[in-house]
Amino acid sequence: MTKETNYGYMRQELKKLADEGNLRRLPQLAHDGRYVSLGEQRMLNLSSNDYLGLADDLDLRCQFLEELTPQDFIPSASSSRLMTGNFRAHRRLELELAHLYGKEEALLFNCGYHANVGILPAVADERTLILADKLVHASLIDGIRLSKCSYFRYRHNDLNHLEHLLSGQLDRYERFIIVTESVFSMDGDRTNLRALVELKRRYPGVMLYVDEAHAFGVYGPQGLGCAEEEGVTDDIDFLMGTFGKALASEGAFVVCDRTVREYLVNRMRPFIFTTALPPINAAWTRFLLQRLPGMTERRERLRGLGNMLRMAFALKGRHLPGDSQIVPIIVGASDRAVLKAEALQRHGFYVLPVRPPTVPVGTSRLRISLRADITDGEMERLIKHLQEL
Ligand code: PMP
């Protein structure tokens, strides 16, 4: 009786989501390397963020396991890093990151969501103004909302709009934090980081926060991301990346100055009040990170696949947005996106519809996550079926 009354509003909301075609359910997938199965249907997984195909690479796992001893296999940090959870594996990974990026310091987080929801509230006060791209990830939006400061959202990748907003507020704030992704998760397009850095240099008190979640591993000569590729790593104040995508692990990091790290250790709640990453996980991440610079072939293959797909559509007079390994095919209404995704799944490609609130209403889409280990034959079939949709 009480449950009926207490949960009634939830049932209504769920019914509304179902009526709009926006109800989400957890798929009961069986995983088999690059493939996933749903019931009888076996499909190539084009919906994960395993862009380099590392998560399914058994050779890598075997190499890692060969070096591992039961003493190193520490499955839990058992407390926050500020208590007893600060293990050698954490620090070694941070030092490796700082070294690769050529930055003073690095700090680990349990996931990208923690990083984004925690860094901004820690560093932004009431004399700070945040200027964020309209399409930044939900975790950044939540971080902005938790910050005790004002914010503006500038039109997606529109640096003129950003500059207009910034120049109009110079007298009112002491500090400005520009927040963007380098590769946008749902549109697959990139930010011009060099132009952002130039803008930063023209105004006092400006800091840059760049989320490289979808670029880390994929771009740059060593796979460190777009900032590395564009040669602007030094100019990014908070360069954040995640390990759960191309790097086939879990967790996240920021590379930054020593002062910033020390400040975050003292002020960032999702860093302070959580059990640290399992040391074994930090060791696995470091093992992969050390091999990342050598994975140029995989990165080139991935880039080639993206070009191939976009080119095939361009030849048919259709423009696919973005210019990365994330290829969105915008459909519009959610129910149509669901039907088209189901059609592709019947052809053996696990592509999912992305719907509101993840993307704006009316822009539901198929989001294809390319992976470096797609074969030429699979790519041809994928293109054929996509064009027939
Ligand atoms: N930033 C971006 C741009 C993302 O796409 C995601 C995850 N989808 C995150 C942060 C969160 O990272 P994590 O999955 O490690 O929490």
Is 185 a residue of the active site? Answer: yes
Confidence of residue 168 (pLDDT cuts 50, 70, 90): very high
- With beta carbons less than 8 A apart as the criterion, state whether 233 and 227 touch: yes
Is 20 catalytic? The answer is no
**Which residues is 321 bridged to in the sheet?**
none
316 is catalytic: no
DSSP state letters, 249-275: S--EEEEE-HHHHHHHHHH-HHHHTSP
What is the band of 149 on the pLDDT scale with cuts at 50, 70, 90?
A: very high
What is the number of alpha carbons within 13 Å of residue 346 lying toward its C-beta?
8
Residue 181 token pair? 């992704």
Q: Which of 185, 219, 324 to mutate to test the pocket of ligand 1 (most atoms within 8 A of CB)?
A: 185
Q: Is 337 helix (H, G, I), strand (E, B) or coil?
A: helix
Is 137 a known active-site residue?
yes
**Average pLDDT along the chain:** 96
Q: Is 104 a catalytic residue?
A: no
- How far is CA 36 from its chain centroid? 22
Q: Catalytic residue among 47, 49, 110, 182, which?
A: 49
Q: Which of 31-35, 91-95, 110-114, 355-359 has the lowest mean pLDDT?
A: 355-359
| Average of per-residue pLDDT across 241-265 | 98
- For residue 125, the model assigns a pLDDT of 95
Average pLDDT over residues 62-87: 96
Structure confidence by residue, pLDDT tens digits, 36-48: 999 999 999 999 9
Is residue 70 over pLDDT 70? yes
Cβ–Cβ under 8 Å, residues 188 and 326: yes
Kindly state if the Cβ of 139 falls inside 6 Å of ligand 1.
Answer: yes
Share of the chain above pLDDT 70, in %: 100
Residue 2 has pLDDT above 90, yes or no: no
Instruction: Report the nearest-CA residue for atom 8 of ligand 1.
Output: 185
Q: Is the CB of 226 under 6 A from ligand 1?
A: no
Q: What is the pTM of this model?
A: 0.96
Confidence of residue 84 (pLDDT cuts 50, 70, 90): very high
pLDDT tens per residue, range 92-129: 999 999 999 999 999 999 999 999 999 999 999 999 99
Q: For the chain, how many residues are written?
A: 389
pLDDT(1) > 70? no
Atom in ligand 1 nearest the alpha carbon of residue 137: 3
What is the pLDDT at residue 46?
A: 98
Question: What was the pLDDT predicted at 376?
Answer: 97
Any catalytic annotation for residue 76?
no
Q: How far is the CA of 116 from the centre of ligand 1 (A)?
A: 8
Sketch out the chain's domains with CATH numbers. Answer: 20-52+296-388 (3.90.1150.10), 63-293 (3.40.640.10)
More confident site: 249 or 19:
249
362 Cβ neighbours under 8 A, 6+ residues apart: 332, 333
pLDDT tier at 5 (50, 70, 90 boundaries)? confident
Residue 148 has pLDDT above 80, yes or no: yes
Mean of the pLDDT values across residues 324-348?
A: 95
* 242 Cα: distance to centroid of ligand 1 (angstroms): 7
* Distance from C-alpha of 57 to C-alpha of 34, rounded to nearest angstrom: 9
Which is nearest to 246 in space by CA: 211, 225, 217? 217
Residue 330 corresponds to which tokens in the numbers above? 């915008």
Cβ neighbors of 112 (< 8 A, separation 6 or more) are 139, 211, 213, 240, 241, 242, 244, 252
pLDDT reported for residue 134: 96
Query: 7 CA to middle of ligand 1, Å?
Result: 30
pLDDT band for position 157 (cuts 50, 70, 90): very high
Burial call 203-226: b when 16+ CB within 10 Å, e when fewer: eeebbbbbbbbbbbbbbbebbbbb
Quick one: pLDDT at residue 313? 95
**Res. 261 pLDDT band, cuts 50 70 90:** very high
User: From atom 5 of ligand 1, which residue's Cα is the shortest distance away?
Assistant: 185
Section 244-257 average pLDDT: 98
Enumerate the β-bridge partners of residue 354: 365
Q: Across residues 1-26, what is the average pLDDT?
A: 87
214 in active site: yes
